[in-house]
């Protein structure tokens, strides 16, 4: 045993002397401003002897000679064996940076930062805007597809026959206006009214009738209704006023309504007021201030005679005459209209 130990000690001393006398590899010159490098770890050198191949970086530091603890003595066989280091080869798939290296590579110095200026950085090209088509919601799809073009609504509603009737109505209105002017009626023509099913073509506003009788408020009447009103006033009302009130002169009459967009009071359909064909007569005024309202009068009185005479005279120029005694709706006024009836008949009640 002593001989084996002595031989092992001699062999170990030879190894140490050989390692110490071996010339060191030339060291690469490093710049003065290079950062200091850490010393190599002894265990990394031992791992290299065990077969772990680590490629030394350029400018590698000189390895330190292995110490006596780098070798082990097998007491049983008397041979010398290498002590395995704790370092192991890196596993596949694991980055080499996770294992300690015997030499740390010198990092490449970072270039000096360049000041940021508008001219040194090219602007990124803006991504083209994506234009998406407007898609109507499913709930509104039917409305969008079936909605008529508002600009064509009026043209689509006018048929050739309706156009002929409209042209004839305009021509008749102008002929009627010429007759009113010839009779001496003072009037103006307003803008045509169109309100759904209601409306008046070239409504006439009468200021004074041909007999000199004024109207207390503006009117909106078809010209034919205004002409019937002037005829009735001239042929029936003025003569009846002279007969019943010889000392007085009729100055004006007051109407309750002309054009009103509404339905009939007691029947289906729109009223003749909604066409400008009707006028409601409420009262008559004389120059001395006497006022006679349309209502039930005392039998045999001048007022009763006057009211009966003008009511009978209205049935002719007007096709419909209603008033006190007809129904409760007409207890305080005369309703006069020119609505056409079958065979040209009249309805005077």
Q: What would the pLDDT profile of 134-155 be if each residue is shown by its tens digit? A: 434 434 433 333 344 444 444 4
Q: What would the pLDDT profile of 142-200 be if each residue is shown by its tens digit? A: 333 334 444 444 444 678 988 898 899 999 999 999 999 999 999 999 999 999 999 99
**Quick check: 290 and 259 in contact, CB under 8 A?**
no
Q: From the CA atom positions of the chain, what is the Rg in Å?
A: 61
pLDDT band at 15; cut points 50, 70, 90: low
Q: Which residues of 191-210 are buried (b: 16+ CB within 10 A; e: fewer)?
A: eebeeeebebbbbbbbeebe
Q: What is the pTM of this model?
A: 0.56
What's residue 241's pLDDT?
A: 97
Mean pLDDT of the chain: 73
Q: What would the pLDDT profile of 66-95 be if each residue is shown by its tens digit? A: 444 444 444 444 444 444 444 444 444 444
Is pLDDT above 90 for 132? no
Pick the more confident residue, 243 or 98. Answer: 243
What's residue 269's pLDDT?
A: 84
CA 235 – CA 210 distance, rounded (Å): 11
Separation in Å, CA 30 to CA 33, 38, 56, 130, 271:
8, 14, 16, 56, 113
Looking at the chain, the whole-number percentage of residues with pLDDT higher than 90 is 46
Mean pLDDT, residues 323-335 taken together: 94
CA-closest candidate to residue 284, choices 224, 227, 326, 244:
244
Least trusted range by pLDDT, from 113-117, 270-274, 330-334 = 113-117
What's residue 23's pLDDT?
A: 53
pLDDT band at 98; cut points 50, 70, 90: very low
CA 216 – CA 252 distance, rounded (Å): 7
Is pLDDT above 60 for 212? yes
Residue with tokens 């170990």: 12
pLDDT band at 215; cut points 50, 70, 90: very high
pLDDT band at 252; cut points 50, 70, 90: very high
What's residue 108's pLDDT?
A: 58
Residues contacting residue 171 through CB under 8 Å, at least 6 positions apart? none
CA 302 – CA 291 distance, rounded (Å): 13
């Amino acid at each position: 045993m002593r001989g084996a130990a002595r031989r092992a000690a001699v062999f170990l001393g030879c190894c140490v002397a050989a390692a110490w006398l071996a010339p060191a590899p030339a060291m690469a010159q490093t710049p003065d401003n290079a950062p200091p490098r850490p010393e190599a770890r002894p265990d990394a050198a031992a791992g290299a002897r065990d077969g772990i191949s680590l490629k030394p970086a350029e400018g590698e530091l000189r390895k330190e000679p292995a110490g006596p603890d780098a070798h082990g003595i097998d007491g049983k066989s008397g041979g010398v064996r290498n002590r395995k280091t704790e370092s192991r080869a890196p596993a596949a798939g694991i980055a080499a940076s996770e294992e300690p290296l015997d030499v740390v590579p010198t990092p490449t110095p970072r270039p000096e930062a360049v000041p940021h200026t508008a001219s040194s950085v090219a602007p990124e090209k803006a991504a083209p805007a994506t234009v998406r088509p407007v898609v109507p919601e499913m709930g509104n799809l039917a409305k969008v597809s079936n909605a008529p073009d508002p600009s064509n609504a009026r043209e689509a509603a006018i048929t050739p026959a309706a156009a002929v009737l409209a042209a004839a109505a305009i021509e008749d209105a102008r002929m009627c206006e010429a007759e009113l002017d010839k009779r001496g009626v003072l009037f103006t023509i307003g803008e045509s009214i169109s309100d759904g099913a209601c409306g008046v073509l070239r409504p006439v506003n009468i200021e004074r009738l041909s007999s000199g009788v004024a109207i207390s408020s503006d009117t909106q009447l078809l010209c034919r209704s205004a002409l019937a009103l002037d005829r009735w006033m001239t042929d029936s009302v003025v003569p009846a006023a002279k007969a019943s009130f010889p000392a007085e002169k009729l100055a004006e009459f007051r109407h309750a309504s002309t054009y009103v967009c509404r339905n009939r009071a007691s029947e289906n359909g729109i009223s003749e007021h909604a066409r400008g064909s009707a006028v409601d007569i409420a009262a008559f005024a004389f120059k001395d201030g006497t006022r006679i309202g349309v209502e039930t009068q005392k039998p045999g009185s001048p007022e009763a005679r006057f009211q009966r005479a003008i009511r009978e005279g209205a049935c002719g120029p007007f096709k419909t005459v209603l008033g006190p005694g007809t129904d409760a709706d007409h207890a305080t006024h005369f309703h006069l209209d020119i609505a056409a009836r079958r065979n040209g008949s009249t309805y005077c009640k």
